[in-house]
Structure 1
């Protein structure tokens, strides 16, 4: 993960950057609209790690690893909900930030220097390295100025994680479909109350 400041339209634009895809991939394992949680058993986590190309995919995954992944997912979700201006996200933000600060030492990162710059990479292999890659992705996005653009859709029937591609970082919905649904809902509410 590159630690140098780069413009949004440089080599890895934040909207398509591996770092945002990795973090959004994790938060989007949560159940949506009555769907199934995709991180419930060790096989789920192993499959997600393999799909994401992270360390730990070929190692033995335990129930404790699944619980740790879900806790990480929940903390990132609350931060992304706060980025969207969701009241529950802002209320839960201090606890999510405190949790991430408290556990970060479990997943140390080391700099890797090459011709392209300095990249933070997990210092460990296995599951701990896989979780460390999430912290490296967060650091990469923060360095690129894209951290606050990771959000959760404000449509209460959706709550999908997304990268806000608007110029002024004012996006609230993951898609035009969700935006249209919410605008129609607001219109019906105004007509009903008029």
Structure 2
């Protein structure tokens, strides 16, 4: 494990959310947001309306900016996001999770909770000077983000689809 579990989950959720904006957009319906909420263990209030879905969709470019900045740029974005959302970090324990950090009240809108949790996770990444774990997919036709939590830092593709496409292209190029 590279980071604490809550940091891993927050980063994975942020990358999945950012990548949901790629074609085809995979966050266009309430059921998809419900699945995202459950899959990444978010807690707190939900409105389950179109405004909530639109707000979550609207933070995707902001999270992309945060996750693709250099270290100094990421620090600026993290500080701005936490200040704008009046984040007050607290240790909490709930459900099956041991103590971990929440920096917003459970009643804060979901989109803001996602932004704050991502910013808090990025604090760990920045402090560890480990931004190399975040990158854009090495496939030239893909803009998705890659979160590499492997020990040897070898992940360069966002999915097996991109990896396989590039492996086949390289094989065909060698055969020529």
Tell me whether the two structures share a fold, i.e. TM-score over 0.5. yes
Aligned partners of 1:154 and 1:173 also within 8 Å:
yes
Aligned partners of 1:107 and 1:124 also within 8 Å:
no
Paired residue for 2:95? none
Give how far 1:149 is off: 0.9
Match of 2:54 among 31, 52, 67: 67
Paired residue for 2:9? 18
Distance in 2 of aligned mates of 1:146 and 1:56: 30
Cα distance change of structure 1 residues 122 and 146 upon mapping to structure 2, 3 Å threshold: farther
Structure 2, unpaired ranges of 5+: 93-97
Q: Deviations over 1:95-140 (max 9, x none)?
A: x9987765543423223258x8883522452423344323223324
Give how far 1:27 is off: 1.8
Distance in 1 of aligned mates of 2:87 and 2:145: 25
After superposing the two structures, state which structure 1 stretch, 47-56 or 166-175, moved more.
Answer: 166-175
The TM-score with structure 2 as length reference comes to: 0.61
Q: How does 1:75-94 map to 2 (within 5 A)?
A: 75-80=62-67
The TM-score with structure 1 as length reference comes to: 0.57
Cα distance change of structure 1 residues 57 and 153 upon mapping to structure 2, 3 Å threshold: farther
Match of 1:121 among 97, 103, 113: 103
Superposition RMSD in Å: 4.2
Q: Is 1:111–2:98 an aligned residue pair?
A: no
> Matched residue pairs, number?
168
Distance in 2 of aligned mates of 1:76 and 1:154: 19
Structure 1, unpaired ranges of 5+: 1-6, 84-93
Distance in 1 of aligned mates of 2:149 and 2:117: 23
Give how far 1:73 is off: 1.4
Distance in 1 of aligned mates of 2:114 and 2:142: 27
Distance in 1 of aligned mates of 2:22 and 2:158: 16
